[in-house]
Amino acid sequence: DQQVKQNSPSLSVQEGRISILNCDYTNSMFDYFLWYKKYPAEGPTFLISISSIKDKNEDGRFTVFLNKSAKHLSLHIVPSQPGDSAVYFCAASAWGAGSYQLTFGKGTKLSVIP
Amino acid sequence: GAGVSQSPRYKVAKRGQDVALRCDPISGHVSLFWYQQALGQGPEFLTYFQNEAQLDKSGLPSDRFFAERPEGSVSTLKIQRTQQEDSAVYLCASSLGAVTGNQPQHFGDGTRLSIL
């Protein structure tokens, strides 16, 4: 069973507009969530994270929102730039339970159109 | 170097051969992880080290897979008697460590393994 789900395989957004990437999880033990960005032939690059004690974390153009009751998180990119075109992975760990491994979704390919 | 370094970047082996993949974590990082990524999927956890201790190997798919980190720095993932289903990208990640609280894992560029 997939514990972290990214239901949109792809997303296209116009340059300058907002990109919203979504992620759902099923394991209630998850308490630390991360977003990674991946270009072809490179490893995932850490973007932003959020602990379950927060519902929002912001870093420049990137904001992550966490809705624990819905077991849902989202990544907002504003404004979107062509260089943001990549595959975005949502990941989670059960840090408080001593499980430090990351469980990943299958990724969403974002295309930002100039 | 500043980031996680993996070698080789690409490895082609014949079915039945043994392979060894190397990972150099970020200096000072206590925790080290190995993941396997199949085409079109997210990375899947294989094993976790804290310093030289292998604390979790629950993701290793079979006893043909073996990992070590003898001095708490460089790690090697070894696959014996390779099979075609072992073809994947193998990613290594490191982080400062659990004692410092939630810390993100930082990934290398991976080794793409192809078994013929």
Question: What are the C-alpha distances in Å from B36 to residues A6, A19, A80?
Answer: 19, 28, 30
Task: Give the pLDDT confidence score for residue B1 in this predicted structure.
Answer: 53
- Cβ <8 Å between B42 and A42: no
* Angle value at C-alpha A99, between A95 and A104, nearest 5 degrees: 85
DSSP character at residue B98: G
List, for residues A39-58, the tens digit of each pLDDT value: 999 999 999 999 999 999 99
Residue numbers of B between 31 and 60 with CB closer than 8 Å to A: 31, 33, 35, 40-45, 48, 56, 59
pLDDT means per 10 residues in chain A (114 residues)?
93 98 96 96 96 96 97 98 98 86 96 97
Mean pLDDT for each consecutive 10-residue tract of chain B (116 residues)? 91 98 96 95 96 94 97 96 97 83 90 97
Query: Which residues of A fall within a CB distance of 8 Å from B91?
Result: 43-44
The rounded distance, in Å, linking the Cα atoms of A72 and A59 is: 19
- In the numeric block, the tokens 């804290």 are attached to B50
Dihedrals φ, ψ of B69, to 5°? -150, 70
Query: Is the CB of B42 less than 8 angstroms away from the CB of A104?
Result: yes
